[in-house]
Amino acid sequence: MEITVSGKQVELSDALRLRVSEQLGTIVGKYFDRALEAHVTFGRARSFFTCDINLHAGRGLLLRAEGEAADAHAAFDDAAEHIAKRLRRYRRRVNEHARDLANRARPEAARRYVLREEEEMEGNGEASDAVSGAYATVIAETPAEINLLSVGEAVMRMDLEDQPVLMFRNSASGELNVVYRREDGHVGWIDPTAAPR
């Protein structure tokens, strides 16, 4: 596994880099045979250190954890504990679902866009009354996959990737569904087949 350790406005010692590489390799090695890569970023916020771990554990499987403490070593320990906890919690479920993956169809291809709202301007720099209004400009475009998943699998994948929303094809109905993290912390689920006709 390729591990990148960096600091944002923080100087990192070679001992810390070595410790992070060894411990993260050991933690991930317990749960995944061939994890792809990990990015560990240390930063400083007010009077404490932060550690952000982004782990690409396998195809389509991204995990993210954060930690903070009075020193960089303790911040890493906090973030590594979160990663280990997630790996332990979900590895069982991933193993169960992996058996079903062989029988499933390949995921559908999709595109993910990031849009920026702008106002159209006249030549003099003022918004025209006739033309004023918001429109979206594409500022980022990435490939995405729409997987065939159960609702439980979709929630697990959303949590593992630390994403606020996930679109998937429901394995029970075959319809496109969406799960999302609500502001109150609960998970919302949009299922068009459940709507009255």
C-alpha triplet 150, 142, 185: angle, nearest 5°: 45
Q: Do 191 and 134 share a structural domain?
A: no
CA 4, CA 24: separation in Å to the nearest integer?
A: 11
Q: Do 94 and 112 share a structural domain?
A: no
* Per-residue pLDDT at 103: 59
* Per-residue pLDDT at 50: 92
From the CA atom positions of the chain, what is the Rg in Å?
21
Residue 183 is part of a domain; what is its CATH number?
A: 3.30.505.50
Q: Do 153 and 123 share a structural domain?
A: no
Structural domains counted in the chain: 3
Query: 75: domain range?
Result: 2-101
Identify residue 81 by its one-letter amino acid code.
E
Q: Do 124 and 33 share a structural domain?
A: no
Q: Do 190 and 116 share a structural domain?
A: no
Q: Do 151 and 138 share a structural domain?
A: no
Q: Do 89 and 14 share a structural domain?
A: yes
Residue 16 is part of a domain; what is its CATH number?
A: 3.30.160.100
CA 39, CA 19: separation in Å to the nearest integer?
A: 14
Q: What is the pTM of this model?
A: 0.50
Two tokens, residue 4 = 């990148």
* Per-residue pLDDT at 86: 83
Beta bridge partners, 140, equal 114
Identify residue 23 by its one-letter amino acid code.
Q
Render pLDDT for 64-114 as a digit per residue (tens, 0 to 9): 899 999 999 999 999 999 988 888 877 777 677 666 666 566 677 888 777
Q: Do 11 and 53 share a structural domain?
A: yes
